[in-house]
Amino acid sequence: MSSQLLTLLMPLKGRHLFTLRFLWQANKFLLPYRILIADGEVHPVIAGLLENPATFPNLDIEYIRYPDDTSFTQFYRKMADASSRLRTPYTMMVDNDDFVIPSGIEPCLEFLTANDDYVSCGGGVAGFALRPASDAALSNLIGPFDRLAYRYSPNYFSRDLASPSLATRVIDGYANYMTTYYNVFRSRAMATICHECADLNFSDLEIHESYFAMRTLVLGKARSNKSCVSYLRQYGTSLGSAFKKDWVHHLLRSRFTTDFDAMVSRISSAVAAADGVDPDPIAEQIRNIFGDGLRILLSRRYGPNPRMEQYKQSVRELIPGWLHDARAWRSRSAAARSAARARDEVFSKLAADGADVTYLRRFEQELESIEETLRGADFPRFVQQHAPDLLKT
């Protein structure tokens, strides 16, 4: 695959060692795609490394320094500008704490090239977690797999959203979440969405993500291929809540309801105009879907902590050190066995979903290469040589 076909668009805000890990692995893969890095928290060491072509000689990197992402407004403006710089027909959004899987990306590119009415196509999004490292600076950065999942979460299932009715396509796709964000996109569609988000300037990230998903389906059909994995997403390393305190604090200081109304109005009007129907029922369906999800979210965030958990924590604090060590050893052994079973399960489920032997063999090699990076000494040695100060923070 030529680097003239696909750009990986990576927005950055901190997590500097993860950036190096992503690019180290991409360099090992000889990844044949352009990588456009939009950095909203510039670190001089990282910037110096990424602006030097010799750091990752196998990669085609365009590194752009932006003002700090101190607000959603700044982030949206950054992404609008970065999307205007895309020079390839296809684009894929990536996070620096994850990994891309070339063998799963290639079928997506082939599918989009052959199907002009689709604006987005992805493989499955698998999930992984690492066993905690003894060195705090490397925690979640290196180590053996502690968990490996065929799908990042149960609602990351694969679907083909191809209804000729926009209303059906948008509502069905929004109600039954698919892995839209990490799909391969036509670059013009990605740029359209990024510029509209900058124009709408949502003050709530979940509204932004909902708009992103629905606007994709307004622009065209979308597909997720269950017989391959195109993206490997890490558990427990996300930037966390976008709220300074909690959601209630955010609600009372944001434009939540105004933003929500703007999203509903923009999407329902576009759908109604295309299908020649009344926008009000579509708007109401969107409100109900978002409301159901929000109720679940608030219940998880603000549900009472069981007193039993507090009791268990008190008991754990009284356990002698030697017993802690013994339990930790048993836990590590059990985790290793569980990870091995999970790995077998990933491949058996892919095979059941139509993956052929050639793809499975290649994906296994890619997964082994990632594990080698995570467990080997080469990447930590690279960090120690080129960015030792980052290990002290």
What is the model's pLDDT at position 100? Answer: 97
pTM for this model (two decimals):
0.88
DSSP 391: G
Burial class (CB in 10 A: 0-12, 13-18, 19+), 70: exposed
CA distances from 216 to 5, 143, 166, 186, 220 (A): 20, 36, 11, 10, 7
Q: What is the CATH number of domain 6-301+331-392?
A: 3.90.550.10
Conformation bin of residue 163: beta by default, left when phi > 0, alpha when psi is -120 to 50: beta
DSSP string, 233-260: EETT-S---SSSS-HHHHHTTS-HHHHH
What is the model's pLDDT at position 316? Answer: 55
CA distances from 321 to 265, 315, 326, 328, 333 (A): 59, 13, 9, 10, 19
Q: Which residues lie closer than 8 Å to 174 by C-beta, 6 or more apart?
A: 210, 213, 214, 217, 286, 289
Q: Which residues lie closer than 8 Å to 23 by C-beta, 6 or more apart?
A: 35, 50, 55, 56, 59, 61
Each of the 393 residues of the chain gets a pLDDT tens digit; together they read: 556 899 999 999 989 999 999 999 999 999 999 999 999 999 999 999 999 999 999 999 999 999 999 999 999 999 999 999 999 999 999 999 999 999 999 999 999 999 999 999 999 999 999 987 767 678 889 999 999 999 998 878 788 999 999 999 999 888 766 678 899 999 999 999 999 999 999 998 889 999 999 999 999 999 999 999 999 999 988 765 555 667 777 778 788 899 999 999 999 999 999 999 999 999 999 999 988 888 887 777 666 654 554 555 555 556 665 454 444 444 455 555 677 898 999 999 999 999 999 999 999 999 999 999 999 899 999 999 999 988 875
- Main-chain phi, psi angles of 365, to 5 degrees: -65, -40
Are the beta carbons of 86 and 58 closer than 8 angstroms? Answer: no
- Main-chain phi, psi angles of 133, to 5 degrees: -85, 150
Distance CA(124)–CA(346), nearest Å, equals 11
At 33 the three-state DSSP class reads coil
Give me the long-range contacts of 188-195 (CB less than 8 A, separation at least 24): 189/119, 189/120, 189/216, 189/219, 189/220, 190/9, 190/83, 190/86, 190/91, 190/93, 191/80, 191/83, 191/84, 191/86, 192/219, 193/219, 194/76, 194/79, 194/80, 194/82, 194/83, 195/80, 195/83, 195/84
Distance CA(72)–CA(77), nearest Å, equals 9
How far apart, in Å, do the first and last CA atoms of the chain sit? 38
Q: What share of the chain is helix, strand, coil (3-state, %, to 5)?
A: 55, 15, 30
- Main-chain phi, psi angles of 139, to 5 degrees: -60, 130
Token digits of residue 281: 């029922």
Q: Which residues lie closer than 8 Å to 313 by C-beta, 6 or more apart?
A: none
How wide is the angle at C-alpha 13 spanned by C-alphas 27 and 7, nearest 5°? Answer: 45
Q: How many CA atoms lie within 13 A of 148 on its CB side?
A: 21
What's the chain's Rg over C-alpha atoms? 22
